[in-house]
Structure 1
């Protein structure tokens, strides 16, 4: 039977969790903000028209990898094979946005010759949306692998099998956070983990709303670490994702302790 909206999103427990985060995270941001030497936003925003920087010599292993045609081929060849299989099995008559994106991604990699050149071209063409345009097709692929191979189901099921009625909410929360690192889509994650979590909750005699929110909290929890929500802002200001990961890691730690603590409190 359906779980009422008032027992999940509008439930007292969720309002407590959300209210606590609305206090904890802004307070943490305030405490982490530098008190001196703060530059105005104009110092971070790049000029409207900037001359492209000359390509410097690769000095580190990651730079050599991203400029190597072999690294590009390691990704492009399986993608090209998937394109061929798609057209052989389905045919051009069933062409959809997924197939078009896959085809363009494959051609883009092959024509640019290296990962670095392709990433630079995407950045030049799409500006503020470059991170989303380039990364999310790969995350969709990861989600497909996790779902089709049953790996996400195995991870969630293994963790659930080692939990008691008192700890199941926290274990589900932690497993959802782990799965979310590989399946960043909330809907896709629920399709993978939701049925397992609900079935185990019924066997343990737990309220379904508690398990539903535990999965949702896990999804939100590791979203604190992965700054996808900040990609447009990073592109506008010219700041790299690694520059804010130290802050988001603290958000992850504080938010995780709060949400896990609330789940344990409800269980006991």
Structure 2
């Protein structure tokens, strides 16, 4: 019998198509570079990173029965992710993300997650069966619709779960408002996402994290590119840590790597400062082109 998962990652599981140029790009530029076709989506990225830390993550998502879906499931399993609880029979195709990066970071991206959005509540069906009574950590991906995120915030099947929430992109940060209003979850944000939720500009990660806590969130971690990361909690000191400087080799997936490293540290009972340090160093290593651990 297959051992149960340690963690559920709920959200996008798709193919990433990432084009990267080794130089700065202007709008409309047509330059040589490299194009990679790799497993992606926030939920899957976090799950793969968690598996590298020795954990057993499972993904709840919608993946088609098409050739792309079959290949994606096979690759996810090879990377240590449990896929038995996926919604496969929705009649929908496998989703895709396309991003363009240059030497400075992400230029633009399009996330085609229509199948995940159309599947909706169906991806949570395992919570009524094999995964009923779930009390372990759950990573929630902001690619879920606002209605589904609101449902999760009040879903009794997840009322005892340790929610870890990531918006997926600045454009989807506002979808997290129901979870903040419900005072559910630990939020992992970049500074722009935190500013959107805070409703104002902030000079640094610490100020941004504190501003989102002031809005009602119980716990918030904020990254800020090469600048110090921060963690703020209601009724506790705000922590900061400066990540090591690195040469940028990629940016897509850095936030997912940060979350996975932080959660792995906490499951290993590391204190707050050590967990924040592990997360920042893991994200920096990812940006430099290395896989951690």
Give the TM-score of the pair, scaled to structure 2. 0.27
Q: Which has the higher Rg, Structure 1 or Structure 2? A: 1
Give the TM-score of the pair, scaled to structure 1. 0.29
**Greater strand share, structure number:** 2
**Greater helix share, structure number:** 1
